[in-house]
Amino acid sequence: MSQQTKDKLIEAAIILFSQNNIETLPVQKINETAGVANKSALYYHFQSKWGLVEAALDFVMHSYVADSLELLEAIDPEQVQVSDVVDAMMKPMVKILQQDHGILHLKFFSKTISAGDEGRVLVAKTLVPISDAAVKLLQKAMPEAESDAVSLKVLFTFNIILNVISDIGLEHFWPTAVKDPKLIGRYLKDYIEGGIRFKADKQHQL
């Protein structure tokens, strides 16, 4: 079976999974959307529906991971600022949004996170290399911060960036005069940086 068939299945998966529940979407629907007549094609190429999800996630996130790691590796650990790390996590995500069908790619990524433990395992495996690099740099920027707290804040940063960017357009219906995407991005970055720098008082936990 051809690479073209494999690519069609990945493309169909991204479109369908961005709009539907991954766990309940029938394989038949994926084959129909891909225009694949051979019902066993998906299993031949990916072994299972989750194998297809993993391949689609790799397709969507490969450039994000590569670009983010490149930016993180370019940061001087001895002069690192929190803003440098946030930029390295944000800019590649915005780049995806600006590509053809970028919003579908981000919505698919978001759906994978909410698709039970199988989806979360795939997403974590995809993002851990970025997280490891980001945590090391943030510990240099904030030597007093606890490593576990920094690691969680990096996780929160991924979630914030993904959810805000994938909800692009909501600001037009919000009670605010700010509509400029660049200014919104600036406020988003300020919000994330503030959260990373904030030091919680252990005596006032939830």
The residue ranges of every structural domain in the chain are 3-199
Q: Identify whether the C-beta of residue 39 lies closer than 8 Å to the C-beta of residue 28.
A: yes
Residue with tokens 């759906």: 111
| Residue closest to 82 by CA, chosen among 143, 124, 155, 129 | 143
- Residue 37: other Cβ atoms inside 10 A: 9
Task: Give, in order, the Cα–Cα distances in Å from 164 to each of 24, 99, 167, 169, 187.
Answer: 26, 17, 5, 10, 11
Does the domain at 3-199 match CATH 1.10.357.10? Answer given as yes
Q: For residues 45, 46, 49 and 55, what is the CA-based torsion angle, rounded to 10 degrees?
A: -110
pLDDT at 169: 75
Q: How far apart are CA 69 and CA 130, in angstroms?
A: 6
pLDDT at 200: 63
Q: How far apart are CA 195 and CA 198, in angstroms?
A: 5
pLDDT at 180: 84
Mean pLDDT by 10 residues, the chain (206 residues): 87 93 91 89 92 94 95 97 96 90 90 88 93 96 93 94 82 84 90 90 53
Q: Count the residues in the chain.
A: 206
Provide the residue type at 37 as one letter.
A
CA 161 to chain centroid: 8
| Residue closest to 154 by CA, chosen among 68, 62, 57, 63 | 68
